[in-house]
Amino acid sequence: MSKKLVHGLFDDDDILMSGVKAVRQKGIDIDEVYTPFPVHGLDKAMGLKPTRIASAAFIFGIIGFFFAIWLTWFMMIEDWPQNIGGKPSFTWLENMPSFIPIMFEMTIFFTAHLMVTTYFFKNKLYPGSAGINPDPRTTDDKFLMEFFVDGDTSNLEAILKDSGAIEVTVKDIVEEEKRNLWFKLPPKSASVVVILLGLGLSSCSSDEPMREPVSVYMPDMYHSVAYEPYSEDPNGINSMEARTPVDGTIKRGYVPYDIPNTNEGYQEALMNLKSPIASNDENAKYGEELYNIYCISCHGINGDGQGKLVQNEKFLGVPSYAASRLPNISEGSIFHVITYGKNMMGSHASQLTWDERWKISQHVLKLRSQLK
């Protein structure tokens, strides 16, 4: 026996609600109701279960939260530890406060995007889906109840008419006509997707990359009204926005270092440069803390040159501090290398103050004494 599709059309939302209640009182299930605007209480009147989108949102948020934990651990701790702003990078828990914004954003990101995706697919609004509204008048000022019925429909038709339906239609359908959730991309939509994909790919190739956009939506936000740092300023001294330091002055906390960054300078630091700070427990403890932030990723916690980046083969050839590997180093040469850098190691003078470099130098000598 073929199924029948029954439609009851209403012209008022209050009458629709009365009709829904009347149909439900007779024990008849309503397959769908189409309205031009949300009708308060309609879901309860139809006997629909409460939506589970809130539970799905919670699950999506948990997925995003744990994904952020894994992402920050793998990128910043396990695969390639980085020293950013003097934050420790050798354990996730110690650096966790720095990752809170990432965990928060990823939680929101996963919740919002997966909720929207779930909502669209649950309501068959995925890309390429055909419109399923059976009567265009429901997008204007009419309301429609839809039923898929096996067998006789005369009783349902009578209930709808008695409830105030202005129009009741019945037609035979086959099983294949019932809508499903399978993805079907119409030929026209496929053509549009191919064209948009081609345009997108073509915009990525150019012999001469464009340094400036052809058009700007809001130029006042794109181009700053204020002068950029170190740009020309017709009103400034020497026509520059930035000011040069006053002759004979240095920035606060800066200690001049006159030994040049040459092989001769390295030898001079090795032989003659001595630490001016006291060698005590307080300085030793602080030097160890600084070492564990700035040096441990490459040189390792014991100074054996087996830091995380070396173990992951991000950098190779980092020597051990042991006397057998580096026979000629001193606190002065260590300070010199931290200041200027050496080989693949860059300068740390911008990250560490003058006295902090000396404290790290003392800790390096301590590690050296413990290595064989």
Chain segment 183-196, per-residue pLDDT in tens = 455 555 567 777 87
User: Would you state the pLDDT for residue 220?
Assistant: 72
Q: How far apart are CA 117 and CA 129, in angstroms?
A: 14
- In whole angstroms, what separates CA 244 from the centre of its chain? 40
At 204, the pLDDT band (50, 70, 90 cuts) reads low
The residue written with tokens 């990752």 in the block is 99
Report the chain's C-alpha Rg in angstroms: 36
- Give the H or E element holding residue 121: helix 92-122
pLDDT tens profile 219-260:
777 677 778 777 888 887 778 887 777 888 888 878 889 999
The residue written with tokens 């564990």 in the block is 292
Show the domains of the chain with their CATH numbers: 1-189 (no CATH), 263-370 (1.10.760.10)
User: Would you state the pLDDT for residue 210?
Assistant: 58
User: Would you state the pLDDT for residue 180?
Assistant: 47
Partner residues linked to 365 by β-bridges:
none
pLDDT tens profile 269-312:
999 999 999 989 999 999 999 998 889 888 999 999 998 888 88
pLDDT of 7 over the 90 cut: yes
Residue % of the chain over a pLDDT of 90: 47
User: Would you state the pLDDT for residue 176?
Assistant: 46
User: Would you state the pLDDT for residue 101?
Assistant: 94
At 206, the pLDDT band (50, 70, 90 cuts) reads low
Phi, psi of 361 (to 5 degrees): -60, -40
pLDDT of 105 over the 90 cut: yes
pLDDT of 85 over the 80 cut: no
pLDDT tens profile 37-66:
999 999 999 998 888 888 999 999 999 999
Residue 194, Cβ neighbours under 10 Å: how many?
10
| pLDDT-wise least confident of 41-45, 173-177, 360-364 | 173-177
pLDDT tens profile 120-169:
888 878 777 777 888 999 999 999 999 999 888 899 999 999 999 999 99
